[in-house]
C-alpha cells in the first residue's frame, strides 16, 4: 500500500514521525521474535524440569545403561539402553539405505533425466513428502510385515531360541524410515547439485572427463556440504518419527537385531504415556529428554556443517 503511494509523497514527513514509525516497527518485530524464542526456551526448561528428577531418583546409570525395562513390576526397573541403541542403530541403518537411493535419485533428477521424465519424477518425490506418517505405518503393517514374517519363518525355521514376531521387527522399521527420509534427502541434494557452478562442470567435460566421471569426481565433491545437510536433516526426521514405526516395529524392548521386535525412543513414549503414572511417567519424560538432546546435537551439527559450507564457498 505504502509502496504505491511512495511516488507521490513520503510517509516520513518529518524527523518526528520517522522516529515514531521506526520505533513502533522495531517493537512489533521484537515482540514477534520473542515468542519464537520463548517457545524454545519454555520447551527446553519444561523437558529438563520433568525429565531430570527421574534421573536422580532411579540413578543415571540405571536408566541410561540398564537393559531391563519393567516399569510396572513390583520391583520396577527402568533401563532404556536397548531403546537408545535401537534409535541409534535404526536411524543409522535407515540412513545407510535411504541416502544412496536419495542421492542417486537427486543426481538423476539434476543431471541425467530427460526433462520430461524429470517432470514426472520430481512431483512424485514431492508427493512422497506429503504422505502422512501413519499411512506409511499402515502400509508397512499390511504389506511389509507379512513379507518379513515369511523371511523370518524361513531363516529361523530350526532355531528354537528365536522369538517369532510376526514380521514386526527392526528391518521393517528401517525400511519404512528409509522411505520416509527419501524426499528430504532428494530435494536438498538436488538443489545442492544444481547449485554447483557451471564452469566446474564445463571445465571437467572440456578436459575430456565423461559425464559420469564429472558427476562423481567434480559435482558431488563440490556439492558436498549440501549433501551433508541433506543427510543430517534425514537423521533428524528418522530419529523423531514415531507413528509409522510404532505400527511396524513390534514395540517390545529387545536388543536391536534385524529380526527382533524393537522399541524406539519415540515409540517408548507414545505407547506407554496413556496409562503411566508416578515414577513411570517421569521416566517417560526422561526418555523425551534423551530424545530432545539427540535432536539438539543433530541441529548443532547441522549449523556447524552449514557454516563450514558457507566458508568454503566464500573462498
Partner 1 sequence: MKNRMSKLIALLAVSAMVMGTLAGCGSTEEAAPVEETVVEETAPAEAAPEEAAPAEEVAPAEETADLSGSISMAGSTSMEKLATALSEVFMAKYPGVTVTAEFTGSSAGIESLAAGSVDIGNSSRALKDSEKEAGAVENIVAIDGIAVVVDPANAVAGLTKDQLIGIYKGEIKNWSEVGGTDAPIVVVGREAGSGTRGAFEELLEVEDACAYANELDSTGAVMAKVASTPGAIGYVSLDVVDETVIAVALDEVAPTEENIKAGSYFLSRPFVMATKGEVAEQSEAVQGLFEFLASDEGKELIKSVGLITVE
Which residues contribute to the site for partner 1 (CB under 8 A)? Answer: 1-2, 5, 8-9, 11, 13, 21, 24-25, 28, 31-32, 35, 39, 69-74, 141-142, 145-146, 149, 153, 156, 160, 163-168, 246-247, 250-253, 261, 263, 270-277, 280
Q: SS3 helix, strand, coil % of the chain, rounded to 5? A: 75, 0, 20
Q: Is 124 exposed, middle or buried (0-12, 13-18, 19+ CB in 10 A)?
A: exposed
Q: Which is nearer to partner 1, 2 or 56 (CB)?
A: 2
Minimum distance between the CB of residue 303 and partner 1, rounded to whole angstroms?
24
Minimum distance between the CB of residue 167 and partner 1, rounded to whole angstroms?
7
Minimum distance between the CB of residue 21 and partner 1, rounded to whole angstroms?
7
Q: Which is nearer to partner 1, 43 or 195 (CB)?
A: 43
Q: Is 284 exposed, middle or buried (0-12, 13-18, 19+ CB in 10 A)?
A: buried
Residue whose C-alpha cell reads 529438563 in the numeric block: 48
Running DSSP on this structure, what letter comes out for residue 11? S
- The number of helices, as runs of H, and strands, as runs of E, in the chain is 15, 2
The SS3 assignment for 250 reads strand
Q: Which is nearer to partner 1, 33 or 296 (CB)?
A: 33
Minimum distance between the CB of residue 266 and partner 1, rounded to whole angstroms?
12
Minimum distance between the CB of residue 135 and partner 1, rounded to whole angstroms?
15
Q: Which is nearer to partner 1, 208 or 274 (CB)?
A: 274
Can you spell out the DSSP letters for 134-174? HHHHHHIIIIIHHHHHHHHHHHTTT-TTPPP-TT-SHHHHH
Amino acid at each position: 500500500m505504502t509502496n504505491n503511494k511512495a511516488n507521490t509523497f513520503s510517509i516520513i514527513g518529518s524527523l518526528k514521525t520517522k522516529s515514531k514509525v521506526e520505533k513502533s516497527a522495531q517493537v512489533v518485530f521484537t515482540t514477534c521474535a520473542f515468542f519464537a524464542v520463548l517457545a524454545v526456551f519454555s520447551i527446553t526448561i519444561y523437558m529438563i524440569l520433568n525429565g531430570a528428577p527421574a534421573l536422580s531418583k532411579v540413578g543415571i546409570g540405571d536408566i541410561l545403561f540398564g537393559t531391563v525395562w519393567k516399569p510396572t513390576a513390583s520391583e520396577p526397573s527402568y533401563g532404556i539402553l536397548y531403546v537408545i541403541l535401537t534409535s541409534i542403530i535404526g536411524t543409522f541403518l535407515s540412513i545407510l539405505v535411504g541416502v544412496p537411493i536419495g542421492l542417486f535419485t537427486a543426481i538423476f533428477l539434476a543431471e541425467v533425466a530427460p526433462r520430461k521424465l524429470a517432470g514426472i519424477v520430481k512431483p512424485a518425490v514431492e508427493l512422497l513428502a506429503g504422505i502422512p506418517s501413519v499411512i506409511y505405518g499402515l502400509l508397512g503393517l499390511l504389506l511389509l510385515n507379512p513379507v518379513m514374517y515369511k523371511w523370518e519363518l524361513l531363516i529361523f525355521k530350526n532355531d528354537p531360541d528365536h522369538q517369532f514376531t510376526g514380521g514386526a521387527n527392526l528391518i521393517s522399521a528401517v525400511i519404512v524410515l528409509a522411505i520416509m527420509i527419501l524426499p528430504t534427502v532428494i530435494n536438498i541434494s538436488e538443489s545442492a547439485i544444481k547449485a554447483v557452478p557451471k564452469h566446474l562442470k564445463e571445465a571437467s567435460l572440456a578436459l575430456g572427463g565423461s559425464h559420469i566421471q564429472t558427476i562423481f569426481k567434480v559435482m558431488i565433491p563440490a556439492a558436498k556440504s549440501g549433501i551433508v545437510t541433506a543427510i543430517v536433516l534425514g537423521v533428524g526426521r528418522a530419529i523423531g518419527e514415531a507413528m509409522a514405526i510404532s505400527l511396524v516395529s513390534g514395540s517390545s524392548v529387545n536388543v536391536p537385531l534385524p529380526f527382533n521386535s524393537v522399541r524406539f525412543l519415540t515409540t517408548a513414549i507414545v505407547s506407554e504415556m496413556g496409562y503411566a503414572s508416578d515414577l513411570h511417567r517421569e521416566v517417560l519424560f526422561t526418555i523425551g529428554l534423551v530424545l530432545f538432546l539427540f535432536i539438539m546435537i543433530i541441529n548443532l551439527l547441522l549449523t556447524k556443517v552449514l557454516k563450514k559450507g558457507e566458508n568454503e564457498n566464500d573462498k
